Structure 1
Amino acid sequence: MHISLPHNIIGLQLKSARSNKGWSLDTTSKNTGVSKAMLGQIERGESSPTVSKLWEIANGFALPLTYFFGELESNNVEPKKLITEKSIAVSTLFSFDPATKSEILLLTLEPAHQHISVPHSKGVIEHLIVIDGEMEYFINNQWHHLKQGEFVKFNADVEHGYRNLSAKTATFHNVIFYTGEGKKNR
């Protein structure tokens, strides 16, 4: 799954985050686990990171995911589609809010789509609320089923994931709370 946003917003935000920390590409690579070459390509707009790579970058900087979409100052309550592919769409409903240390995303999974996410920073908690259809979430090496109206909360500082095994599109809210110290839990 690759992220597609206009005008290389992710690259500009990555460069800004590096500048704010005073990090070179080498230091950034060491802190994020993403190669210098890939980081440079992202900054120049030559490559679009996967969601997993973007999470690695966000974790390395101890920043929320939506920072890289350039939306932290936005008070716009209209959903903004961030990621679109044939099998998944991710829209931001509310960008990271420093007061609540949270962000709210809307995800749509097409049938037969599966996404495994890298561990987020220590203390990150996700809440999934199924709006339409059915889905499964992966935590502690097991898949768990959720139907429309059902919800779950889990620590997302471990490998976790989402999948849709049904024949119908599944839509869910993902409420992410950044409650920890912002360090990787690996």
Structure 2
Amino acid sequence: MDLTQHLSATLKLLRQQRGWSLSRLAEETGVSKAMLGQIERNESSPTVATLWKIATGLNVPFSAFITPPQSDVPPVFDPQQQAMVVTPVFPWDPVLCFDHFSITLAPGALSESTPHEAGVIEHVVVISGTLDMCINGVWQSLSAGEGLRFAGDTPHAYRNSTASTTHFHSLIHYPKSC
């Protein structure tokens, strides 16, 4: 099963397990009913920001959508189609309740994240380049080797305002009720 098929099957399964209609899923995620239907039918590939909204609305880890079960090969998004490329370093760990991602941002890219569930803590470490982070409306700049820990249940955004690709890691720790 390829990544887009996994994503569409996972979305449909999670919605059906909850007994939700597409309308209810749209209400819970803030993603339009039309877009959700297209994703479920494998007619559209959502952006990373849209996937975050869906994962948050369903209260599931982001990696549930991008890591097929028993996958040894991490998914890679085409950087020419996506300003943000997310690859799992360690997929969802249900015992320790975390996701760990390697993320690249194209020059000039901006990715706004909706707040995650209450109690989520995010740890960001810049590997190369410069990353601008906005947390609760306040922007700060991080260089290679610098990190930031913040409450992921608040509005936040990632921006690469340089002419070079920025690479960073994000470890997302969910509350123990995961």
* Coarse TM-score class (shorter-chain normalised): 0.7 to 0.9
**Root-mean-square deviation over aligned CA pairs:** 2.1
Q: Which residue of 2 aligns with 1:25?
A: 22
> What does residue range 68-87 of structure 1 map to in structure 2 within 5 Å?
68-71=65-68, 73-74=69-70, 76=72, 79-82=74-77, 84=79, 85=81, 87=83
- Counterpart among 43, 48, 53 of residue 45 in structure 2: 48
1:119 aligns with 2:96: no
Letter of the structure 2 residue corresponding to residue 37 of structure 1: A
- Displacement after TM superposition at 1:93 (Å): 1.0
Call closer, same or farther: CA 1:103–1:83 in 2, change over 3 Å: farther
C-alpha deviation, 1:59, in angstroms: 1.4
The alignment partner of 2:76 has SS state of strand
> % of aligned pairs identical?
40
Q: Give yes or no for contact 2:122–2:172 (8 Å, CA) kept in 1.
A: yes
Segments of 5+ residues of structure 2 without an aligned counterpart are: none
Amino acid in the other structure paired with 2:93:
D
| Structure 1 residues 57 and 83: CA distance shift in structure 2, 3 A | farther
Q: 1:134 aligns with which of 130, 137, 148?
A: 130
Rounded Cα–Cα distance in structure 2 between residues aligned with 1:36 and 1:80? 26
Is 1:152 paired with 2:151? Answer: no
SS, match of residue 176 in structure 1: strand
Provide runs of 4+ in structure 1 moved above 4 Å.
none
CA distance in 2, matches of 1:52, 1:80: 16
Change in Cα spacing, 1:104 to 1:54, as seen in structure 2 (3 Å) is: same
Question: Is 1:177 matched up with 2:176?
Answer: no
Is this contact kept in 2: 1:31–1:60, CA < 8 A? yes
Between the two proteins, the alignment pairs up a number of residues equal to: 176
Unaligned runs of 5+ in 1: none
Residue of structure 2 aligned with 1:98, choices 87, 94, 103: 94
**How far 1:108 moved relative to its partner?**
1.1
- Which position in structure 1 is the counterpart of 2:7? 10
